[in-house]
Amino acid sequence: MSLKETEQKAKIKLAELSAKFDTVINEILEDLTPQEIDFILENYSKYLTYDIKRNFEEKREKNLKESPFDAIINNDLGIGDE
């Protein structure tokens, strides 16, 4: 896949992810009462962040550590266990 194709696909998937986050957040906010919103803002505002970059980095790290041969290498094939 060319860099241009990768860029285009990545941008589309990122936009889809962002739209899904917005949808879920808006659904939850619609279910909250004004009192609950005030309480959350007053007591938990410092926690109202979501570090999506962390998720991407964890996924990249996992992908770098795994290979198609990991299952074979880590699997007990029963060789010499007689």
pLDDT of 38-75, one tens digit each? Answer: 999 999 999 998 888 988 898 888 888 876 666 666 66
Query: How many percent of the chain have pLDDT more than 90?
Result: 57
Examine residue 27 and state whether it is found in any structural domain, yes or no.
yes
Examine residue 43 and state whether it is found in any structural domain, yes or no.
yes
Examine residue 77 and state whether it is found in any structural domain, yes or no.
no
Total structural domains within the chain: 1
Mean pLDDT of the chain: 86
Q: What is the pLDDT of residue 50?
A: 84
Q: Is the pLDDT of residue 16 over 70?
A: yes
- The residue-averaged pLDDT of 9-25 equals 95
Q: What is the pLDDT of residue 55?
A: 87
Domain that residue 33 falls in? 3-71
Query: What is the per-residue DSSP string for 3-46?
Result: HHHHHHHHHHHHHHHHHHHHHHHHHHHHHS-HHHHHHHHHHHGG
